[in-house]
Structure 1
Amino acid sequence: MTNDNQPMRIAFVLPGLHRVVRGAEVAFESIARELAQLEGVSVTLFGSGEGRDHQPYTFVHIDNIPRERFENLPQVPLFRTEYVYEEFTFLPGLSRRYRPSDFDLTVTCSYPFLNWFLRTRGGKRRPAHVFVTQNGDYPAYANRREYRFFGCDGLVCTNPEYFERNKDRWFCRLIPNGVNPEQFSPGQVEREALGLPRDVPVVLMVSALIPSKRVVEGIRAVSQIEDLHLVVCGDGPEREKVNNLGQQLMAGRFHWKKLPREKMPDLYRAADLVLHLSLDEPFGNVYIEALATGLPIVTHESAVTQWMLEETSVLVDTTEEAQVIAGIHQALKLNNPEDISGRRELVERRFAWSQIGQMYYEFFKDVLKGVSHKLGIIT
């Protein structure tokens, strides 16, 4: 990576950092790691997890109440999900530890409270603020209810649909998520160490257990294919429903797991294909982690998945169960060396974190230049 010797102090702010293994948290931690290795760039993460040794960035622990505690509370205006409740409990601790003067630029993907907080602390000399569409772009284009008060100095769009929808309103850049191709790579693994049987075909679903990810639909489809085992890795409000249905329809063939991040590459290596049935995905780290490991993917056909996956995967209408089943049968035949090499080539060409980190750095420089110009500061 290159830089122009201008110092840059960046804060990534998200409650789940260093605590949960989900797409947004994994992406922010990976981007921060790349940026913090640049000369003249310092990066601080504010999250509710614990510090880790040997990281190039600074981590600040902020107490909060985890989202799981709010899963059964009513969904009301403003507090529409358990994530918003969690975000609200994050603010008091953040207010005590965060100083606007310590940073040139702040980054979050959480709305409304963190976006509002980071844009208002520091007055006219507040840090520039970048919002990333890790969880969707609805706050950026909706113009009703609390979404009327969204704002940012730069918007990172994680897929081309988001970019086209927002480019005329915000200062945007299309930047996908990435993967470490050295960490996620093809290889052999002892399935027994993961509690999985040998010599059986295994389908893997890596997903939050929420309705929009359609894990229940995946269980129903896979259950109809004889001898096929299904591993579901993730957690969320539908955990009981998912586990009960899996045991009911696939007794002895269903495996629900929650693994730490460092175990995920081995879990991918233990699978024969990845199934992901979400109809509207901001990006989907599961796609590129599977590609990097060489796995075929069965997922919903859309402009976004076509853009991401090119010709490497099996794209079907996942609202049709018969197409999902046919897609699984097709994907099980796509594990030859040529197919695996093609998936790896796509990752190395477009989705390595080193490239994504460079894209973020260049965009952050442009955001800071734009803000300085608005304020009449000569740089």
Structure 2
Amino acid sequence: MKIALLCSGLGHVARGHEVFARGLFDLLRGEVDITLFKGGGEPAEREVVVANLPRRAACLERIHFTGSPHWAEAIREQERCRIEALTFAYAALRPLLEGGYDILHCLEREVCEVLYAHRHLFARVPRIVFSNGGAIPARSLPPCDHVQEHSAWNLRQSARGKAFLIPHGVDPQRFHPGVPAGDFRTRHGIPADAPVAISVGTLCYWHKRTDHVIREVAALPGWHLIAAGQENEDSPAIKALAERLMPGRAHFVTLAHEDLPQAYAAADVFVLGSLFETFGIAYIEALAMGLPVFCTRHPNQQAIVQEGVFLDMKQPGALTAALRDTPAARLDELRARGPQIVQRDYDLRVLRAQYLQHYRRIAATPAQLPAWTLRRRIAANLRNLLGRAGRVFGV
């Protein structure tokens, strides 16, 4: 059984999506014949760097769009990601065709679409698995053979007969309450006795809503905020907002994933301003570290976090009130329960067996190309007739 795991963003950015790809590869590389196809970085054993047009390429800096200026950055970011994934997918075709893989596990929908459309090129037709990192409902899923969902809420909306559930996981040996904060507070000018909230995610308006978190924490005298994440075009304005509302109390850091535990250890609580997450790896990292989680009251997040402080993130002042008024005894309960939840449901060592079980099942499933049926014949004839009519009438 040979598996190809494909992630175009890996090597370019370090969001939860890419953390998942790296973590899954490292989890399984000693257990199964798996190769990681990534968009950037250096080649390594069983790691193939695929040439592509990365989302941060200078030639993509001036994308034209039609729409509300409020969504300008979100639209441009989506288009940059789409181009990166498409160029990655076509460039990956040759090594995939030469590799003889049984399973192609795709993390981007564009990659999944391209490979599924070209599966007839493979000497042995692979099974194509899509990891649904965007909570795409069944009607909008890309064509694929199997779908990995990451939560029970997402599974209920997915494609029946194709979908299976394996949540994101975390390594409790790296993320746990005993991790020392070291000199993190000192290096960033955070007083030893100051209450600190940490938010982990891209510094932006349109998804993680970093500006909302800043406004809510700024209203609490003496509180500090650690905002750890990738920067983008929104980031300068967000930093300026923090400097205006809470000067000296907001600390922006971009960290390698292996350095995140120390940042979590320097905080007292975890907050995320987004209104919905497909999963949110940062939630379970915070749980594993023993941090109380303050997040949106969405059924998906409630099912994933299980025990946290859930609130209406759209409501101004709700996060401020929750941070200020949640009883200390309740916070202590959450600090104790988080690591227990992770050990039971999200420990990578537990999830490893689930991945191997599903991969073996999928690899044993016969792969079939579309059959030439009467329905397909009629559809092809109709397309040909419409094409001829268009040429004749100049349509």
TM-score, with length taken from structure 1: 0.85
- How far, CA to CA, are the matches of 1:344 and 1:51 in structure 2? 34
* Structure 1 residue 128 corresponds to structure 2 residue 120: no
- How far, CA to CA, are the matches of 2:43 and 2:327 in structure 1? 38
* Structure 1 residue 184 corresponds to structure 2 residue 175: yes
State the partner residue of 1:315: 310
Q: Are 1:23 and 1:134, in contact at CA under 8 Å, matched by a contact in 2?
A: no
Q: Which is further off, 229-238 or 69-78?
A: 69-78
State the partner residue of 1:304: 300
Q: Are 1:75 and 1:81, in contact at CA under 8 Å, matched by a contact in 2?
A: no
- How far, CA to CA, are the matches of 1:256 and 1:184 in structure 2? 21
Instruction: Describe the shift of the 1:193–1:359 C-alpha distance in structure 2 as closer, same or farther (beyond 3 A).
Output: farther
- How far, CA to CA, are the matches of 2:159 and 2:208 in structure 1? 27
SS state at 2:313 partner: coil
State the partner residue of 1:106: 104
State the partner residue of 2:163: 172
Q: Are 1:246 and 1:254, in contact at CA under 8 Å, matched by a contact in 2?
A: yes
CA RMSD after TM alignment: 2.7
- How far, CA to CA, are the matches of 2:2 and 2:92 in structure 1? 17
State the partner residue of 2:153: 161
Q: Which is further off, 230-239 or 272-281?
A: 230-239
* Deviation of 1:31 (Å): 1.4
State the partner residue of 2:25: 32
SS state at 2:286 partner: helix
Q: Would you say how many aligned residue pairs link Structure 1 and Structure 2? A: 354
Instruction: Describe the shift of the 1:359–1:273 C-alpha distance in structure 2 as closer, same or farther (beyond 3 A).
Output: same
State the partner residue of 1:50: 41
| Match 1:268 to one of 264, 270, 283 | 264
Q: Are 1:44 and 1:59, in contact at CA under 8 Å, matched by a contact in 2?
A: yes
Q: Which is further off, 43-52 or 266-275?
A: 43-52
* Deviation of 1:372 (Å): 5.1
- How far, CA to CA, are the matches of 1:158 and 1:137 in structure 2? 11
SS state at 1:67 partner: coil
* Deviation of 1:248 (Å): 1.7
- How far, CA to CA, are the matches of 1:221 and 1:320 in structure 2? 10
Instruction: Output aligned runs, 1:270-349, within 5 Å.
Output: 270-311=266-307, 313-330=308-325, 333=328, 338-349=333-344
Q: Are 1:12 and 1:28, in contact at CA under 8 Å, matched by a contact in 2?
A: yes
* Deviation of 1:13 (Å): 0.8
Paired amino acid for 1:181 = P
Q: Are 1:291 and 1:343, in contact at CA under 8 Å, matched by a contact in 2?
A: yes
Q: Are 1:17 and 1:45, in contact at CA under 8 Å, matched by a contact in 2?
A: no
Paired amino acid for 2:196 = V
Q: Are 2:82 and 2:110, in contact at CA under 8 Å, matched by a contact in 1?
A: yes
- How far, CA to CA, are the matches of 1:331 and 1:346 in structure 2? 21
- How far, CA to CA, are the matches of 2:312 and 2:93 in structure 1? 46
* Structure 1 residue 201 corresponds to structure 2 residue 201: no
Instruction: Describe the shift of the 1:214–1:366 C-alpha distance in structure 2 as closer, same or farther (beyond 3 A).
Output: same
Deviations 1:230-275 (A, max 9, x none): 1111123321221121122111111111111111111111111111
State the partner residue of 1:73: 63
- How far, CA to CA, are the matches of 1:334 and 1:276 in structure 2? 22
Q: Structure 1: any 5+ residue segments left out of the alignment?
A: 1-7
| Match 2:9 to one of 16, 19, 27 | 16
* Deviation of 1:118 (Å): 5.0
Q: Are 1:160 and 1:174, in contact at CA under 8 Å, matched by a contact in 2?
A: yes
Q: Which runs of 4+ in 1 moved over 6 A?
A: 76-79
Q: Are 1:179 and 1:288, in contact at CA under 8 Å, matched by a contact in 2?
A: yes
Deviations 1:129-154 (A, max 9, x none): 1001123325x422xxxx6xx21111
- How far, CA to CA, are the matches of 2:351 and 2:66 in structure 1? 37
* Deviation of 1:18 (Å): 3.8
Paired amino acid for 2:3 = I
- How far, CA to CA, are the matches of 2:330 and 2:47 in structure 1? 40
SS state at 2:191 partner: coil
Q: Are 2:311 and 2:318, in contact at CA under 8 Å, matched by a contact in 1?
A: yes
TM-score, with length taken from structure 2: 0.82
Paired amino acid for 2:257 = R
Deviations 1:72-92 (A, max 9, x none): 513589995221022133245
* Deviation of 1:119 (Å): 4.9
* Deviation of 1:94 (Å): 2.1
- How far, CA to CA, are the matches of 2:326 and 2:53 in structure 1? 41
Q: Are 1:34 and 1:353, in contact at CA under 8 Å, matched by a contact in 2?
A: yes
* Deviation of 1:49 (Å): 2.7
Paired amino acid for 1:30 = G
- How far, CA to CA, are the matches of 2:272 and 2:127 in structure 1? 36
State the partner residue of 1:256: 252
Q: Which is further off, 42-51 or 75-84?
A: 75-84
